[in-house]
Homo-oligomer: A and B are copies of this chain.
Amino acid sequence: MPELRREPIVGRWVVIKTDPELLPGDFEKEDHAPHRQATCPFCAGKENLTPPEIEAVRSEDSKPNGSGWKVRAVPNKFPALKEEGAFEKTGIGMYDMTTGIGAHEIIIETPDHQAQLPDLSLEDLADVLDTYISRAKKLAKQKRFKYICLFKNFGESAGGSIEHAHSQVIALPMVPKFVVEELEGARNYFRYRGRCIFCDMIHQEHQDKERIIVENSDFLSFCPFAPRYAFETWIIPKKHASDFTTISSGEKKELAKMLKDILGRIRKVLSNPAYNFFLHVAPNDYDSPESYHWHIEIIPKLTHSVGFEWGTGLYIVPTSPGAAARCLRDN
């Protein structure tokens, strides 16, 4: 019998349709980005192919925009939003619009074209996390930016047009809709129960056990009860925290371990699928930090999204989160 499950934070319903249940190997193989090392603008030695770097983790004797770096943050050559210009709001008859002010940066995660995140050493992964934190902090200082999005598209069918390991940072002049819904859902729960809904989910996952993939001293990874996609995976700090940028150096090491582990499991179990991850954080200067809990959501791209889903917001998921967690846990 299919199940309808209610996502507890925003109230989204999903259909868990497990007759038949799709397991690794049952999904159509999708291409991920082809090898195009020869023309890759993110490789060591090709620093002149990107706009000048904003910041980098590099050896002391190296120079900006030269070689000798481990992580580079550069402006996106084709930005979705632009930093220059004023933030202006206009009405066009009944419609509202604003100028597209914002920042759009790329974080190149390694000079090595062949390496993806799970191939990096824990030290190198910590450097990547340091750069995430540094860019998020610096962009948040600009008062006109209300929300900082950090995400990764890996593989063509997940929107990753360049294969070389990189993430993207977008600073927005408003808090986007899905984030507002998540914040409000969590805030309503906090008002009603006096507890963080994410902390309660961690407790519930520990009780139920079946959806947990793996955990370490600071982080838990699990397949959520009401996912939107098969093998959707969350990584969440076990201790309540609304602000990703304030994690301790000990936590950073544990997060590097967890990311390497989980992305490695997804690659192995699902045959190197395209995927997206998205860092869910509170808006800059958020006034209800007790109700929000930062985390990372990872979506392997295994099926095509269909008309039904964008028309309704009701997702049909062909793998139960318990089965998905078991596949990822036991590999």
Contacts and interface: CB of A to CB of B under 8 A. Distances in A.
Interface in A93-112: 93-100
Interface string A136-165: 000000000000010111001111000000
Interface string A1-39: 111111010111101110000000000000000000000
Counted per complex, copies of this chain come to 2
Contacts of A310: 178, 228, 276, 278, 299
Interface stretch (A119-127, A167-175, A249-257): A167-175
B308 A149 contact: yes
Nearest to A177: B313
B5 A99 contact: no
Tell which of A81, A176, A308 has the most Cβ of chain B within 10 Å: A308
Residue among A178, A200, A297 with the most chain B CB within 10 A?
A178
Interface stretch (A55-63, A201-209, A214-222, A259-267): A201-209
Nearest to A307: B276
A288 interface: no
Q: Which of A13, A170, A201 has the most CB of B within 10 A?
A: A13
Given A176-B314, A178-B313, A152 B307 contact: yes
B307 A95 contact: no
Nearest to A154: B307
Interface in A65-94: 79-82, 85, 92-94
A85 to B, nearest CB: 6
Contacts of A280: 311
B151 A316 contact: no
Contact of A308 (B16, B151, B177): B151
Given A95-B204, A95-B226, A278-B307, 4 more contacts: A12-B177, A17-B100, A172-B312, A176-B314
